[in-house]
Amino acid sequence: MKIRIYQVNLGRDEKRVAFMGIDEREHFLESRNIDSSIYDCVFSGDVDCNDLEDVFQKFNIDHPDGYTGRSLSVSDVVEIVDSDIGETGFFFCDNIGFSKVDFNPGEAEPYKDGKIKVLMVEPGKKAYEREIGTSLEEMYSALDCECIQTFYPYDDLVVIVCDDEGKINGGRPNRAVYGEDGKMMDIICGKFFIADCSTSSFKSLPDDMMAKYKKQFLLPERFCRINGEIFAVKYDPVKEEVR
């Protein structure tokens, strides 16, 4: 069957209806209507599924290649565009099962496939801007890994995407991440990139966020232990090459 999946854009969700079932919406908002304008289309394509329950399992257990949306959950809308088995239309993922609903796809953010601009940070190098693809395979390739991990340490709507097994596989220590109190939270091993996470899928970093985090992560770091405490020391790789 051919389907499209729509998910609430958390940045436009002023009434906080994401992950809320229809009965809950009616209780808190006194309406069962779906506001199509707060949704993004995060998938469009053919899937080997027979019904909506198959779709639910696939987008929770076996994501299709290139899918970067959230796992299918309550408040998501599945559009069955074409099916030889069941009816077509828009179906709201509720707390139990699916409910057919009125939905206007013209008001939702359309599906976007392509590349995004991120801040790439590698061990021993200055941070730099790079365009990468949005499929999982392209992100794996950009980070030279087989599994990615997401990290949300900041109040800004940005995400750090890194190698999930960087430390386990002996990846080279890259950069330290600090909390608002200035204390070191973690050390990321191996490559990582920073992207915008204001929607249900990764987007290009806005110019102001690119400048902010490029300044923060520009220079590579070396790590040392003094009296049992780990410290990060920044250095300029260009100057060291001259030496």
pLDDT of residue 96: 93
Report the percent of the chain where pLDDT is more than 90: 60
pLDDT of residue 241: 64
d(CA 175, CA 166): 12
pLDDT of residue 86: 76
Beta strands in 71-168 (DSSP E): 77-82, 89-93, 98-100, 115-121, 128-133, 148-151, 158-163
Two tokens at 196? 């915008």
Answer whether 108's CB lies under 8 Å from 39's CB.
Answer: yes
pLDDT of residue 74: 96
Residues of the chain with pLDDT under 50: none
pLDDT of residue 35: 94
pLDDT of residue 243: 56
pLDDT of residue 242: 54
d(CA 221, CA 45): 43
d(CA 119, CA 202): 13
- Which residues are registered as beta bridge partners of 105? none
pLDDT in tens, 15-72: 999 999 999 988 888 888 999 999 989 888 899 999 999 999 999 998 887 676 889 9
Three-state DSSP at 35 gives coil
d(CA 33, CA 20): 12
Model pTM score? 0.56
| Residue 233 CA from chain centroid, whole number | 30
The residues spanned by each domain of the chain are 2-107, 115-222+237-242
